[in-house]
Structure 1
């Protein structure tokens, strides 16, 4: 059953994409787009975050009869490092360790209360996931929708499960294909445009319209009572990009991590190999090495001829070279990853404010790039929120009136800040001093406390 009798935007899109193709059917074209979608780089970021580094798949080979084969007897330690997770978590905590602040250009407090009521704690919980996932994959998608109760809602759509189709001239999202595996043999695909969504199913490498959907294509949502079908007028997916190139953070330091993992794993292999002595025999009178080891184990002695000798050989570990190289690789990982090395030797016991600013400079630079991209995405998110208010009869507002601020969280020298705050009394307002005091989280609450029990210093 089809709701629309006119040509849908999905059909128009498919016709446009098919213009230069050798007569594919719409379903074949969608299948081609789906099969050409490459998530390799995204998956690398996810794997390294979950400590599934390439070293985990390392094999040690040997040559037998001129053929390279896996040496199943060789020591093969596979020790992955967690540097990528540290760097991504640093960035996430730096940007979202404290809740994001929303403000109004027109200082409309009722609008801010409305936004908090509609997205509130769910947004605070979702923001760190958006930052983490975008840092791993290069981007992540947010899907705003109106649920069955008629309330505004939103959900994360993993970037590896959504194929954006962009307008080349405007660089705007004109359609998108969301897909997910229902089972090993069945993939469901949804083709979204600004007015409708068409459902497809891929079974045994054959794609067709999903007959389980009563309305296909269908509008984006219905009213709470299900009486009226409506659409957003935009493709309801918002891209939260990590940077302008849409690449994950791992891209910039993966080789350094791989080299570190290889070095540490090989060092462990060498240490394990050292536990086994290599015996150098001269003039042994026995018939085979098995007998030699048995005599050595049982009698603590072996039989040698008059010119025989018995020596042991141990491998030498280049400890200093290993240490220098691992330290250099670790330094490169934090430098290329634009992070903060948490080593006490780097941070020190009580660094000054200037030292901490310098320490966080690379992290702040990297985070600021994501911050700009997320601010653009949040502006689109506010558009959907404002549109929902218009549709549902809630108080309307101008989505361009809303401002966003990431409350970045960094280490500070509290004693230094408090001393500067005391010296600023009488020069700047007490409110400004409270806003920058490291112990004050809620300025309004602190001001109420001050009125009841004024402190001696402020």
Structure 2
């Protein structure tokens, strides 16, 4: 009998000093077949329990860092003395990394096209209905944050093919135990906290959707509520992996982010503690505590010395004692941390002087060479999952007699979102003897929203400004001339 421990995992003692997340926090779930899993629902329960206990904490941590709730600096007990400042400065490098990569990859929407124009129009309709540009952008962002993203395909009440993103923290895909790792089922679960503590579980196989509930979350025992067919002829939950290891784009620099947070927080604490430094008054002065406190409030100290030896006035001095701050060393340390974060995430530091000024897209590509390598991997993984999407769409379209197409004929094109020197492009185009239509020329101008409408306005104005001629008057004049000749 199959057992739940057949999914890839490892048993070991987790030490936060060596490894932030255990290996099983990102393990794939494996099982021989969906039929065998349905016969052993206890194994499905164990998978759900394992996902909640071991995989969700990692996903939640990555989400927290993306939102700026950096866990280490916010949770650690950093200052032992209660009277000292304890600032917790968080720096959202995670959001910068993920949003930069998201914009770089799909800031210019990816293009899908088919050589058959009729099929091409149907794909455009499906993409328009589902707002595919925004949907794909959200998938890329989830990939960057969590190292994975999930998409659900379904038919709505209007019998339209729809797709939507799923919460990564409540979704996983189960693969078979072959070397091909084909998906056999997808799982989506959630709590309805405003109703009761019932855990709703949806299991998607290649032909059916099963709805289970469990009211005892300690045993996770599943009870089947209902099952219904779908016609995608494949598991309608698709996993988009960021890379082979399903690692997020900022996941391996979390410790560097923590170090930067700590350094900036310590600097802030120093600046605050400096205001609470000890005042030391040296010399034989005629000064009581009450007078000294009043002077401190007035930010003015007047020292009057008492007579010293042989009637001479004694020396007096006042100064603060505080911890010395190595400004240059500390700032260099923080700059190095920030530079390492950018280097290991392959994202540019826009404060770097190398990125100042106007640069062409080709020049930027050389500076983004490391990110280009990562982008190539991310694109291949994304295209693979994207073809699965359109393969399932083709299956359901065939069943609904809405047409069919060969998924391999779909062209998927990513365009890096880089700054472009339009002037250089136009000058090169003109030198090569190229010409542009009026509509294309107008589309270049940012102040023109609709080139076609603008051309219609130009045509209307030309007609309005054309001189008018009274042809009937000329005809009458010709007739008069003819009569006079006679």
Establish whether TM, by shorter chain, passes 0.5.
yes
Task: Give the aligned partner of residue 39 of structure 1.
Answer: 56
Conserved 8 A contact 1:133-1:139? yes
In structure 2, list runs of 5 or more residues that go unmatched. Answer: 1-32, 309-313, 460-486
Conserved 8 A contact 2:150-2:167? yes
| Cα separation, 2, equivalents of 1:289 and 1:220 | 86
CA apart distance, 1:238: 0.8
CA apart distance, 1:350: 2.4
Task: Give the aligned partner of residue 262 of structure 2.
Answer: 262
SS of alignment partner, residue 239 of structure 1: strand
Q: How does 1:99-138 map to 2 (within 5 A)?
A: 99-104=109-114, 107-120=115-128, 122-138=131-147
Task: Give the aligned partner of residue 227 of structure 1.
Answer: none
Change (3 A) 1:425 1:338: same
CA apart distance, 1:10: 4.7
Change (3 A) 1:156 1:349: same
Match of 2:374 among 366, 374, 383: 366
| Cα separation, 1, equivalents of 2:234 and 2:108 | 31
Please give the TM-score of this superposition, normalised by the length of structure 2.
0.73
Aligned residues: 404
CA apart distance, 1:404: 0.8
> 2:43 matched to 1:29?
yes
| Cα separation, 1, equivalents of 2:425 and 2:136 | 29
Task: Give the aligned partner of residue 220 of structure 2.
Answer: 207
| Cα separation, 1, equivalents of 2:276 and 2:352 | 37
Conserved 8 A contact 1:75-1:269? yes
Conserved 8 A contact 1:200-1:210? yes
Two-structure CA RMSD over aligned residues (Å): 3.5
| Cα separation, 1, equivalents of 2:377 and 2:289 | 65
Match of 1:160 among 169, 172, 190: 169
CA apart distance, 1:202: 2.5
Change (3 A) 1:300 1:322: closer
Between structure 1 and structure 2, the one with the greater Rg is 2
Conserved 8 A contact 2:279-2:318? yes
Considering Cα pairs closer than 8 Å and 6+ residues apart, tell me whether 1 or 2 has the greater RCO.
1
SS of alignment partner, residue 423 of structure 2: helix
Conserved 8 A contact 1:188-1:199? yes
Conserved 8 A contact 1:296-1:302? no
Task: Give the aligned partner of residue 37 of structure 2.
Answer: 13
Conserved 8 A contact 2:85-2:272? yes
In structure 1, list runs of 5 or more residues that go unmatched. Answer: 1-8, 16-25, 63-70, 222-230, 454-458
Task: Give the aligned partner of residue 77 of structure 2.
Answer: 59
Change (3 A) 1:72 1:179: farther
| Cα separation, 2, equivalents of 1:421 and 1:56 | 55
Task: Give the aligned partner of residue 28 of structure 2.
Answer: none
Q: Which stretch of the first structure deviates more once superposed, 339-348 or 74-83?
A: 339-348
Match of 1:77 among 74, 84, 87: 87
| Cα separation, 2, equivalents of 1:102 and 1:76 | 53
Conserved 8 A contact 2:89-2:265? yes
